[in-house]
Structure 1
Amino acid sequence: MFGFTIVENLQKINEDIEKHELKYHNKRVLVSKEFTFDAAHHLHCYEGKCKNLHGHTYQVVFGVSGYTDEIGLVIDFGDIKQIWKEQIEIHLDHRYLNEMLPKMNTTAENMVVWIYEKMHTALKGKREDFRVEFVKLYETPTSYAEVRREWMEHE
C-alpha cells in the first residue's frame, strides 16, 4: 500500500522560497489548451453526405509557446480560455458556420486556418514572444485538420 502524508508546513514565499527562485529556466515552452463547440454547416461543390446541412461536436487544440515569465509561467491557461471565449467561440458555438465565418467552404481545412489567424492576432497584442505553434480542429474524434506556425509563416 501507499503511504500518504498531510502537508504540515506549506511552503511560503519569502520564507521558504524567494521570488527570484520561482523562475527555473529561460527556455521556450509550449502549453496546450483544448476546447469543444457544437455547430452546423454544409459543404458546397461536394458530392457526399456533407453537402446536406449537418452538425458536429468540434474539438480545437491550441499549442502556444513562449518564454517563462518571472514566476515560471508562459501564459495563464485562463488567458487562452478568455481569448477563445471572447474572440473565437462566439463565432462558432451553436452557430450555422456558413453564415458566421468569412465566405469560404466550411471545411475543417479552411476553418482551422481562420481559427489560427484569430488566436495569432489576439496573442500578438499580449507579449512579443508568444507564438501559436499549431491548431488542430477535430471534426470527429478520429478526423482533424491541423495548421502549424511554420506553414503559416512560409506560405
Structure 2
Amino acid sequence: MSNIRITKQFSFETGHALYGYDGKCKNIHGHSYKLSVTVIGKPITDSTNVKFGMVIDFGDLKKIVKEEIVDVFDHATVFNKNTPHVDLAKDLKSLGHNVLLVDYQPTSEMMVIDFAEKIKNRLPKQLNLHSLKLQETDSCFAEWFASENN
C-alpha cells in the first residue's frame, strides 16, 4: 500500500515580543498564524475498521493539534522566559491575561520546532509527522520537514 500525506490547516491569533531584536518586533505585537500540519502513513486496509481507507481521521488530527497548539497559543502572548519580559508577563497574568513563557525566542522558526515535537508525541505509532508550515503573515512563513530533522 502506498504512503499518503494528509494535511490539515489551522489558524490562531497570538501575540509575542522578540527581546533583544533590533527592529519593530521587539515590541509586543500579534499575528494571525496559519498552521499546516502534514502527516504521512498508509491508509487503513481493514474493511471492518470504521476508519477504513483513511490514513488518519481529520477529526483525530484536529483534536491533537487543537489540544497541543491552537487551544494553548490562541489569544495568548508568548515571551521567552529567559528575558526581562518575565516581569511584564507576571504583571499581565495578574491582570487576567493569557501569557505563555517558553524557553526559546518566540519566532516562527522556533515555534514550528516546538510544535513539531508536541505533535509528534501525540500521533498514533503508525503515522509520522511529515511537515509543518507556520505562516506568520501573508508573505512570511517557517517550514519544518521530518526528512531534514532526523
Alpha-carbon distance between aligned partners in 2 of 1:88 and 1:53, rounded to the nearest angstrom: 20
Name the counterpart of 1:112: 112
Q: CA deviation at 1:101?
A: 4.7
SS at match of 1:97: strand
Which of 136, 140, 149 is residue 137 of structure 2 equivalent to?
140
1:46 matched to 2:13? The reply is: no
Q: Which amino acid aligns with 1:138?
A: Q
C-alpha contact 1:91 1:101 (8 A) present in aligned 2: no
User: What secondary structure does 1:88 align onto?
Assistant: helix
Q: Distance in 1 between matches of 2:23 and 2:117?
A: 29
TM (normalized to structure 2)?
A: 0.80
CA distance in 1, matches of 2:118, 2:7: 16
Compared CA separation, residues 133 and 101, structure 1 to 2 (3 A): farther
**CA deviation after TM superposition for structure 1 residue 87, in Å:** 2.0
- Contiguous gaps of at least 5 residues in structure 2: 46-51, 80-98
Which structure is higher in strand share? 2
Distance 1:152 1:101 in 2: 25
The answer for unaligned runs of 5 or more in structure 1 is 1-25
CA distance in 1, matches of 2:110, 2:74: 17
What root-mean-square deviation, in Å, do the aligned CA atoms of Structure 1 and Structure 2 show?
A: 1.1
**CA separation in 1, counterparts of 2:106 and 2:129?**
22
Number of the residue aligned with 1:67: 42
SS of residue paired to 2:121? helix
Structure 1: 4+ residue segments shifted above 2 A: none
| Deviation (angstroms), 1:85 | 1.5
**1:129, distance to aligned residue in structure 2 (A):** 2.3
1:78 aligns with 2:59: yes
**2:57 is matched by which residue type in structure 1?**
D
